[in-house]
Chain A
Amino acid sequence: MAAVPLDWYLILAGLLFAIGTVGVLVSRNAIVILMAIELMLNAVNLTFVAFSHYMGKNDGQVLVFLVMTVAAAEAAVGLAIILNIFRTRESVNIDDINLMKW
């Protein structure tokens, strides 16, 4: 079995994280921003698992469970907030949600 070197995992995770960051910054739809944040968290999970496997320790993989739990709680609260804003404004486009500036 030809092992995949650690660096490849790290580069993949870094790219996923960067894609997520760019997604948060350029996207105008609150739901898409939420998805981009989830992508960033999963990039972190990949980093944890890769390091953990490479070092032959299990604790990094346990940490991933914690991250997944937190991500689920965040998504639940976030979707509720976005749903509520859709009820009052009929839009989830963040360019429309600009009552307060400076």
Chain B
Amino acid sequence: MDIFSIIGTVDYGALLPELFLLGFALVVMLLEPFLPERYKPVNFYLTVFGLLAAAGGSLWLWNRAGVNFGGMATSDNFAVFFRLVFIAGTLLTVLVSKNYLASEKFANGEYYALLLFSTLGMMFMAGSLDLMVIFLGLEVMSIPLYILAGFRKADVRSNEAGMKYFLIGAFASSFFLYGIALVYGATGTTHLQEIYNQLPTLQGRGDFLIYAGAALLTVGFAFKVAAVPFHMWAPDVYEGAPTVVTAFMSAGPKAAGFAALLRTFALFLGDYKEAMVAVFWVLAVLTMTVGNVLALVQSNIKRMLAYSSIAHAGYVLVAVVAGGPDGVSAALFYLLAYTVMNIGAFAVVLAVEGKEGSNQIGDYRGLVNRHPYLAAAMTIFMLSLTGIPPTAGFVGKLYIFSAAVSANQIPLVVIAVLNSLVSVYYYLGVVVAMYMHPSPAAEKNQSFYSLPLMLVLALTVWGTLQLGIFPQALLRAASDSLVGLF
């Protein structure tokens, strides 16, 4: 590898979204200490503008794949699709954060800068063709998240969430890294395409190393996407972290983990497909079942949504097992739908937390009398998370299950459908509490919601219904994302 040949081939156009995010993150971070108090909202507008610029850059790159850093990073449609999902997640989080930050008296510059850096890491994960770049992206994504989880410095729960996330995240990263080292030992490279080309020639020691390496990589990914049995951190971290941060990390980082996982396994471990499918089959069944069963007994809504996010990781793993163009595009569509509906649900949780100071599901009783719009929005998100038409969650699940059926994974689909039935109980439990139980305080509360929060609720409700009723455009985008991959 000649260092000059690597530097010589930088295609700045293909890096446009990353450069925008990096630039705006640095500006926000460096500007923060010099801004007088009354100009602090500038950070918010800069962040929103940076994200919109990155979204524009990503859209411009659609069908315009460029390769960078000696083939280590790419901006193919797969990367563009995921970039847009990450930007959507971050943008929605930033919008709901504005008033939350003001009410919590957080220093907002570093908060926004950390969100942008984390998003940058996700983008590198989605656009990487090299295991080492995936690792670096993973760390650039995770390290800001550790800080964000513990952002309420005086709150012991937030501290605990930060520490648990950090220790378990770093532990998982070292497994992932050991996996990279063993794959490197087997093939002499960390580049995915070259690894793939080497696979048929491996035997003896190389064969053993690639199995061990793939197993360790799977452990690392499973930790990051919170797949059972590597999920123990998720409920605690989701519950303890500030609600805005929980919304952020339930969507983007999970999608980024799956982006890297899909690239690594579904596309490149061709010759070892059967062994990997068996592993992911077991992971998918465990993840769906444990996530759904434990969600049944939760009384805290953030914790319930944490187990629900574990269960949803299981549904995406069903798509990974299905594999092939259908499975991968189903996973892409589902991750987009999940990002929209889940951040919407967290926006409602945040609004209720702000109005009533509680996250217990019992306190959602009679919400329709106090906050009718919040209750209506929450109902749509809960129906979508359950997978009931005409919502995004239904189309996503339908697409995943049909991909799995055509890949002849009938038993897995049966298990997944049974799991969806279990999930009806706890999702609709929230709806029942909101609509059918008497409110502890009966008066109707016509309180004002902040403008950014209303905007997020409107966008996510619209997105959930749009993806559910007219999904064709995005389904096509999801399958166009695979251009050049198969």
Cα(A63)–Cα(B1), bound, Å? 13
Q: How far is the CB of A100 from chain B (nearest CB, A)?
A: 4
Contact status A84-B153, CB under 8 Å: yes
Contact status A51-B132, CB under 8 Å: no
Cα(A80)–Cα(B161), bound, Å? 14
Cα(A53)–Cα(B253), bound, Å? 35
Residues of chain B contacted by A85 (CB below 8 angstroms): 150, 156, 159-160, 162-163
Residues of chain B contacted by A73 (CB below 8 angstroms): 139, 143
Report if B147 contacts A (CB, 8 A). yes
B interface footprint on A79-102 (CB within 8 Å = 1, 0 otherwise): 011101100110000100111111
Of A41, A63, A78, A100, the contact of B160 (CB 8 Å cutoff): A100
Secondary structure of the B side of the interface? helix
Report if B18 contacts A (CB, 8 A). no
Contact status A66-B181, CB under 8 Å: no
Residues of chain A contacted by B180 (CB below 8 angstroms): 44, 63
Report if A30 contacts B (CB, 8 A). yes
Q: A40-B178, A44-B174, A85-B163 are in contact. Are A77 and B147 (CB under 8 A)?
A: yes
Residue of A nearest to B170 (CB): A37
Residue from the set A66, A94, A99, A100 with the largest chain B CB neighbour count within 10 Å: A100
Q: How far is the CB of A85 from chain B (nearest CB, A)?
A: 4
Residue of A nearest to B186 (CB): A51
Q: How far is the CB of B121 from chain A (nearest CB, A)?
A: 11
Cα(A92)–Cα(B422), bound, Å? 39
Of B1, B177, B236, the contact of A100 (CB 8 Å cutoff): B236
Report if B146 contacts A (CB, 8 A). yes
Cα(A43)–Cα(B174), bound, Å? 9
Contact status A44-B178, CB under 8 Å: yes
Residue of A nearest to B185 (CB): A51
Report if A19 contacts B (CB, 8 A). no
User: Which residues of B in the span 130-180 have a Cβ within 8 Å of any Cβ on A?
Assistant: 132, 135-136, 139, 143, 146-147, 150, 153-154, 156-157, 159-164, 166-167, 170-171, 173-174, 177-178, 180
Residues of chain A contacted by B153 (CB below 8 angstroms): 84, 88
Residue of B nearest to A51 (CB): B185
Of A37, A47, A70, the contact of B167 (CB 8 Å cutoff): A37
Report if B235 contacts A (CB, 8 A). yes
Secondary structure of the A side of the interface? helix
Of A57, A77, A100, the contact of B146 (CB 8 Å cutoff): A77
Report if B184 contacts A (CB, 8 A). yes
Contact status A100-B235, CB under 8 Å: yes
Contact status A99-B166, CB under 8 Å: no
Residues of chain A contacted by B173 (CB below 8 angstroms): 70, 74
Residue from the set B150, B173, B178 with the largest chain A CB neighbour count within 10 Å: B178
B interface footprint on A14-27 (CB within 8 Å = 1, 0 otherwise): 00010010001000
Q: Give the number of residues in B that approach A within 8 Å (Cβ atoms).
A: 40
Contact status B184-A48, CB under 8 Å: yes
Residues of chain B contacted by A44 (CB below 8 angstroms): 174, 177-178, 180-181
Contact status B132-A37, CB under 8 Å: no
Report if B309 contacts A (CB, 8 A). no
Cα(A49)–Cα(B389), bound, Å? 54
Residues of chain B contacted by A67 (CB below 8 angstroms): 177
A interface footprint on B69-89 (CB within 8 Å = 1, 0 otherwise): 000000000000000000000
Residues of chain B contacted by A17 (CB below 8 angstroms): 174, 178
Q: How far is the CB of A51 from chain B (nearest CB, A)?
A: 4
Residues of chain B contacted by A84 (CB below 8 angstroms): 150, 153, 159, 162
Report if B47 contacts A (CB, 8 A). no
Q: How far is the CB of B402 from chain A (nearest CB, A)?
A: 35
Residue from the set B132, B136, B146, B163 with the largest chain A CB neighbour count within 10 Å: B163
Contact status B150-A66, CB under 8 Å: no
Of A51, A77, A81, A97, the contact of B181 (CB 8 Å cutoff): A51
Residues of chain A contacted by B143 (CB below 8 angstroms): 73-74, 77
Residues of chain A contacted by B132 (CB below 8 angstroms): 63, 66
Residue of A nearest to B191 (CB): A59
Of B156, B166, B181, the contact of A47 (CB 8 Å cutoff): B181
Of A59, A70, A80, A88, the contact of B1 (CB 8 Å cutoff): A59
Q: How far is the CB of B398 from chain A (nearest CB, A)?
A: 33
Residue of A nearest to B154 (CB): A88
Contact status A89-B177, CB under 8 Å: no
Residue of B nearest to A76 (CB): B143
Residues of chain A contacted by B292 (CB below 8 angstroms): none
Residue of A nearest to B169 (CB): A74
Residues of chain A contacted by B160 (CB below 8 angstroms): 85, 97-100
Cα(A100)–Cα(B302), bound, Å? 12
Report if B440 contacts A (CB, 8 A). no
Cα(A35)–Cα(B253), bound, Å? 26
Residue from the set B146, B161, B167 with the largest chain A CB neighbour count within 10 Å: B167
Report if B182 contacts A (CB, 8 A). yes
Q: How far is the CB of B192 from chain A (nearest CB, A)?
A: 15
Between A and B, 11 residue pairs with Cβ closer than 8 Å are A10-B185, A37-B174, A63-B180, A70-B135, A78-B146, A88-B154, A88-B159, A97-B159, A97-B160, A97-B164, A101-B236
A: residues with CB less than 8 A from B are: 10, 17, 20, 24, 30, 33-34, 37, 40-41, 43-44, 47-48, 51-52, 55, 57-60, 63, 66-67, 70, 73-74, 77-78, 80-82, 84-85, 88-89, 94, 97-102
Q: Across the A-B interface, give the 4 residue pairs with the lowest CB-CB distance, nearest first.
A: A40-B174, A47-B181, A51-B185, A100-B236
